[in-house]
Copies of this chain bind each other. A is one copy, B any other.
Amino acid sequence: MNPDTAKQPITLRDMGSFHIGGRVVEITGKPMREILFSAGGVPAQIDPNGQYQIEAMYVQYFLPQHRQGKYPLMMWHGGGLTGVTYETTPDGREGWLTMFIRNGWDVYISDAVERGRSGFAPPEIWPDPPLHLTKANPFERFRIGPRAGWNSDPAKREPYPGNQFPVEAYDDFTKQFAPRWTGTNDAVIAAYIALVDKVGPSILMFHSQAGAFGFKVAEARPDLVKALIAIEPAVAGDGALAGRLKNIPTLMVYGDYIERDSRWPHMHRLGLAYAGSLRAASGIVDVVNLPEAGIKGNSHMLMMDRNNAEIAGLIQRWLANKGLAGSNPPIR
C-alpha cells in the first residue's frame, strides 16, 4: 500500500450494517423466570418458551466514493476472533479494512455466526459449552513464539526471533478473543452463502478457520465468487470438487515459522495439496510462502503484523494482475 495515502481522508459514498440469514427455532416446556434487567429497575416476568431467532450474521459495509475494485471484497475472520481482526491493529496501526477501502474496494466485513455481533444460540439449541481461549494459547498456535516462550509477564515473553507480530501489544490482542463453539460450521456456511447471494458477485478474503468456509462457499456458488484470497487457511477445500473452482483465481498466503510449529506443517501440506488439486482441474492458483518471497517473520496474524501494509500491497498487486482492481489502483 502507498504510505502517502495513509493520512488522506476516507470518503465513503455509503456505510452501514445488516444481519443476514439465520433461522427460527422453538423452545417449549420451560418455567417462567423473573428477571431484574437492571439493578434499580422494575422486575420483568420472562417466559423463556417460544420462538428464538438464531444463527444470523452481522455484516458491516464501507463503500468508497471512488470505487476501483471490480467486485465487493469480503473479509472473513478466523477462529476465536471477529471482524475486528481486520480493523486497527492491537498496537494502533492501520489494518487491512481501511487499507483496502483506501484502495477503492467496497468492503463487507462480518462476524461469523456465533461470534461478536452475530450473537449465539441458547444451550437448548447448541448444547456444547463454548470454548474460551487462555491468553497463552494463541501465542503458540498463532506462531508468535514457541510454547516455552510464553510468560504471563510481558517483559519475559520470548517470541520467535524476528517475529513481525507487535508482541508488545499481545495483551491488547487477547482482548479481541471471542468464545467459540466447534459444532456450528454448517450454520456459519449457510449465513455466508446467504451473504454472497445478497451482495452478488464478490471476492472472498478469509483467514485460518475460515478456510473451512471460503472454499465451501466457492464450491456452492462458483458463479458468484470471483476470486479467493486464503490467508493461512487452516482447512482446504474438497479436492474432489476442485473443478467447480476452475474459473476462480485463488491466492494462498502463508507466513513464517511453519516448520517450527507442531500443527502448521500438516495444515500447510493440506493447503499445498489442495492447490495441486485446483491446478489439476485447470484452476488458477498462486501460493505465496512469504519467506520464500523474501518476506520474513510473519506470524499467523498477517493482517496485524508490523509489515501488514506490505502483505496488503502484495494482495492488491495480485488482484490488479488478475484484472480485478480497477484501472488505477494506487498500489505500491
User: Which A residues fall within an 8 A CB radius of B?
Assistant: 9-19, 22, 24, 27, 33, 35-42, 44, 46-53, 56, 58, 60, 65, 79, 82-84, 87-88, 92, 94-95, 98, 111, 116-117, 119-123, 129, 131-137, 141, 152, 171-172, 174-179, 182, 185, 209, 211-212, 234-236, 263, 266-267, 270
Contact = CB atoms under 8 A, between A and B. Distances in A.
Contacts of A92: 18
Nearest to A171: B53
Contact of A38 (B52, B84, B209): B209
Count of identical protomers in the assembly: 2
Nearest to A27: B134
B51 A136 contact: yes
B132 A52 contact: yes
Contacts of A15: 10, 98
B47 A134 contact: yes
Given A87-B60, A117-B82, A119-B178, A134 B235 contact: no
Contacts of A48: 132, 134
Contacts of A270: 40
Contacts of A212: 38-41
A145 B270 CA distance: 55
A258 B13 CA distance: 39
Contacts of A56: 175
Given A17-B87, A35-B131, 8 more contacts: A9-B65, A16-B98, A24-B135, A37-B182, A41-B263, A44-B141, A116-B116, A119-B179
26 contacts: A9-B11, A16-B88, A17-B84, A17-B87, A19-B176, A27-B134, A33-B131, A36-B182, A37-B79, A38-B185, A38-B211, A40-B270, A41-B209, A41-B235, A41-B267, A42-B263, A49-B134, A52-B132, A53-B135, A53-B175, A53-B177, A60-B87, A84-B117, A116-B116, A116-B117, A122-B132
